[in-house]
């Protein structure tokens, strides 16, 4: 049973989920994933938990996921981990923000990621997985029965692929990679909407219907031989 303590804060006009993650409920160290907006609220939440933010993890650099990176980094001194391909976006945020949003501050990432890294931050082991398709450099952070997966997979939906660098076939491969690598009860903490599991999405997500037909776990459950 995972002791991981994950707190969700839905922030900003696009209702993005920022997560404060600790190794357990009494831990005094935390990481924050995708601080998208409302930095004062996120910092106050960490303080209320008695947790110091030791690292800032970014899944991808759409503005709704990075709007509070600079102020949270400044307030905490925590290093920022960002997909390498998207580092220039974080460093020049407003160039990519549609009219009516922001302003957001630029930030030069302290560490860049390509996927395949293993990080130990705030006493938590994270595996970094390259999951492009929604955006070109998107990464997912996997730890202890949980995925912090940004805009890859949602409850009943998937990340949009019509923004620059988006591609459906690529996203589909990224989702398939997660389904292959992690068990069905893996908890998915997505960048928007509610928490789900890989198994629930494999069973019910309309965007995964083709995958459902091919997945041996589902095929076994559907087969007339099941229940023997």
Where on the chain is the footprint of Fe ion (CB under 5 A)? 62, 151
DSSP category for residue 97 = P
Burial class (CB in 10 A: 0-12, 13-18, 19+), 86: buried
- For the CB of residue 113, give the shortest distance to Fe ion in the complex, in Å: 16
Q: 207, 161 in Cβ contact below 8 A?
A: no
**Closest residue (Cβ) to Fe ion?**
62
C-beta of 58: minimal distance to Fe ion in Å?
11
Provide the minimum distance between the beta carbon of 60 and Fe ion in the complex, in angstroms, as a whole number: 6
Helix spans in 39-188 (H)? 39-49, 63-66, 69-76, 87-90, 168-181
Evaluate whether 137 touches 112 at the Cβ level (below 8 Å). Answer: no
CA distance linking residue 136 with residue 134, whole number of Å? 7
Which of 149, 196 has the CB closer to Fe ion? 149
Least distance from C-beta 9 to Fe ion, angstroms?
Answer: 17
Reported as type and span, the H/E element at residue 225 is: none
Q: Which is nearer to Fe ion, 3 or 163 (CB)?
A: 163
Query: Which one, 27 or 82, has the nearer CB to Fe ion?
Result: 82
Smallest distance, Fe ion to C-beta of residue 150, A: 7
Minimum distance from residue 62 beta carbon to Fe ion (Å): 3
Name the residue nearer to Fe ion (CB basis): 54 or 151.
Answer: 151
CB of 164 or CB of 224, closer to Fe ion = 164
Pick 183 or 194: Cβ nearer Fe ion: 194
The two tokens of residue 205 are 């997500």
Q: In what order do the strands lie in the sheet with 16-22?
A: 5-11, 16-22, 29-33, 52-57, 80-83, 111-113
Q: How many whole angstroms separate alpha carbon 191 and alpha carbon 153? A: 9
């Amino acid at each position: 049973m995972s002791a991981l303590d994950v707190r969700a804060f839905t922030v900003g006009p696009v209702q993005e989920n920022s997560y404060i993650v600790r190794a357990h409920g009494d831990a005094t160290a935390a990481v924050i994933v995708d601080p998208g907006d409302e930095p004062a609220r996120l910092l106050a939440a960490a303080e209320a938990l008695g947790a110091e933010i030791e690292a800032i993890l970014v899944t991808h650099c759409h503005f709704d996921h990075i709007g509070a990176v600079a102020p949270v980094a400044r307030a905490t001194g925590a290093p920022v981990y960002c997909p390498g391909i998207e580092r220039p976006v974080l460093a020049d945020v407003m160039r990519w923000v549609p009219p009516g949003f922001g302003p957001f501050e630029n930030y030069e990432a302290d560490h860049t990621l390509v996927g395949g890294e293993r990080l130990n931050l705030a006493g938590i082991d994270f595996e970094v997985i390259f999951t492009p398709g929604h955006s070109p450099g998107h990464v997912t952070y996997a730890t202890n029965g949980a995925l912090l997966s940004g805009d890859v997979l949602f409850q009943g939906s998937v990340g949009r692929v019509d923004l620059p660098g988006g591609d459906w076939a690529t996203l589909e491969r990224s989702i398939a990679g997660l389904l292959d690598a992690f068990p069905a009860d893996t908890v998915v903490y997505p960048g928007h909407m509610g928490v789900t599991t890989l198994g629930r999405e494999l069973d019910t997500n309309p965007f995964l219907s083709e995958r459902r037909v091919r997945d041996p776990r589902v095929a076994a459950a559907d087969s007339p031989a099941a229940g023997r």
